[in-house]
């Protein structure tokens, strides 16, 4: 779908996957005015297909658009475009279980010119790709590197938007994490480099205590981390299961000491791609520690199973999250 100043959104087309033609002076190549989303379509037990919370992705896409000085796409148009592609590609939605069809809606500037200003033309596109189970051999805890050298987002920056620049800026930290033998980066706040924000492409959760007394806490949305849709869904699911939940500032000191004295029992990350990934090991310039016993914790496993059961249609959907396609 195209957008032009004065004309708005127009010219929706369903086309075979093919290269895009851009001029070398296209503003997108230079000034990175680009936003995107990620969501999944799951096969349901009756053979139908449903997407998970596409309206939430559509609203986050609008927030990202505002931050990047881009035009907002109506929620219904975003959802309709995803529906159209999923219907077209219905045969590519895998049969069952954790496998899914991953959708990547995105918007880019599409104007030629070398001046720095918001473009006057844009393209909104949705592509799709089948996604296998993230952990085909069982859920494995990841090791994380606490990034004190690089920050992902500063107050007033673009941290709450899903835009390419955030990911470009994360790559050096990811390389540093790999050098330390870690799988992922954990970002800290830009001001004090003390408070935990999020992990690579996922939000984080901290579990205090055990069993039905457990309290499940996630870093609060300070404007410098992405408001994950999985994060929000798990806050609801944890409450439905009777757990105490909270959104708070969590420092790396608290993480280390809570882990050492046993009050902090499990840590996991969550996002569309992997649903839930346990964190098993933490490393920083000041030391390292293990979380749990190298296996996913019981509450991590229960929450993962509960969310996947809703997504794959094996459990009731009390919040109306599944968007059924005929």
Beta carbon of residue 211, minimum distance to ligand PMP (angstroms, whole number): 26
Residue 110 or 230: the one with the smaller Cβ distance to ligand PMP is 230
Q: In degrees rounded to 5, what are phi and psi of residue 314? A: -95, 0
The SS3 assignment for 261 reads helix
Dihedral (CA of 21, 75, 14, 4) sign = negative
Contact 179, 197 (CB under 8 A): no
Pick the stretch among 78-86, 111-119, 195-203, 208-216 that binds ligand PMP (CB under 6 A).
195-203
How many residues line the site for ligand PMP (CB under 6 A)?
12
Residues 32-51 that bind ligand PMP (CB under 6 A): 38
Interaction between residue 274 and ligand PMP (CB under 6 A): no
Interaction between residue 198 and ligand PMP (CB under 6 A): yes
User: Which residue in 54, 201, 278, 313 binds ligand PMP (CB under 6 A)?
Assistant: 201
Interaction between residue 105 and ligand PMP (CB under 6 A): no
Interacting residues of 115 by C-beta distance below 8 A, sequence separation 6+: none
User: Which residue in 62, 147, 163, 230 binds ligand PMP (CB under 6 A)?
Assistant: 230
Q: How far is CA 230 from the centre of its chain?
A: 7
Interaction between residue 163 and ligand PMP (CB under 6 A): no
Contact 93, 49 (CB under 8 A): yes
Dihedral (CA of 197, 238, 321, 87) sign = positive
Residue 27 or 267: the one with the smaller Cβ distance to ligand PMP is 267
Interaction between residue 82 and ligand PMP (CB under 6 A): no
Task: For the chain, count helices (H), then strands (E).
Answer: 8, 17
Interaction between residue 169 and ligand PMP (CB under 6 A): no
Residue 317 in tokens? 């959907």
Contact 186, 172 (CB under 8 A): no
Beta carbon of residue 134, minimum distance to ligand PMP (angstroms, whole number): 12
User: Which residue in 272, 277, 300, 311 binds ligand PMP (CB under 6 A)?
Assistant: 272
Residue 119 or 237: the one with the smaller Cβ distance to ligand PMP is 237
Q: What b-and-e string marks burial along 153-174, b requiring 16 or more CB atoms within 10 Å of the CB?
A: beeebbbbbbbbbbeeebeebb
Interaction between residue 229 and ligand PMP (CB under 6 A): yes
Pick the stretch among 79-87, 106-114, 228-236, 310-318 that binds ligand PMP (CB under 6 A).
228-236
Angstrom distance (rounded) from CA 158 to CA 164:
10
DSSP 93: S
Judged by the rule CB under 6 A, the positions of this chain that interact with ligand PMP are: 38, 198, 201-203, 226, 228-231, 271-272
């Amino acid at each position: 779908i195209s957008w032009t100043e004065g004309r708005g959104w127009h010219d929706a087309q369903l086309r075979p996957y093919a290269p895009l033609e851009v001029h070398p002076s296209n503003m997108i190549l230079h000034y990175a005015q680009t936003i995107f989303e990620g969501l999944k379509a799951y096969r349901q037990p009756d053979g139908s297909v449903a997407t998970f919370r596409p309206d939430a992705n559509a609203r986050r896409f609008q927030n990202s658009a505002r931050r990047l000085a881009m035009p907002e796409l109506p929620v219904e148009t975003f959802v309709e475009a995803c529906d159209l592609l999923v219907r077209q590609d219905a045969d590519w939605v895998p049969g069952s279980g954790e496998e899914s069809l991953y959708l990547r809606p995105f918007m880019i500037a599409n104007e030629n010119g070398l001046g720095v200003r918001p473009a006057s033309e844009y393209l909104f596109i949705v592509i799709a790709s089948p996604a296998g189970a993230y952990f085909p051999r069982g859920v494995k805890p990841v090791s994380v590197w606490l990034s004190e050298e690089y920050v992902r987002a500063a107050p007033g920056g673009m941290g709450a938007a899903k835009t390419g620049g955030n990911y470009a800026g994360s790559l050096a930290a990811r390389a540093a994490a790999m050098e330390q033998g870690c799988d992922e980066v954990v970002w800290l706040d830009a001001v004090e480099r003390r408070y935990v924000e999020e992990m690579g492409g996922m939000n984080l959760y901290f579990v205090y205590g055990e069993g039905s007394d457990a309290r499940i806490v996630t870093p609060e949305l300070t404007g410098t981390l992405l408001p994950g849709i999985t994060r929000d869904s798990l806050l609801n699911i944890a409450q439905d299961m009777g757990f105490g939940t909270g959104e708070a500032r969590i420092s790396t000191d608290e993480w280390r000491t809570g882990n050492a004295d046993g009050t902090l029992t499990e840590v996991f990350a969550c996002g569309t791609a992997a649903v839930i990934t346990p964190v098993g090991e933490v490393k920083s310039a000041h030391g390292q520690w293990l979380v749990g016993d190298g296996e996913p914790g019981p509450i991590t496993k229960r929450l993962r199973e509960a969310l996947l059961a809703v997504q794959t249609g094996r459990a009731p959907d009390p919040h109306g999250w599944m968007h059924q396609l005929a």
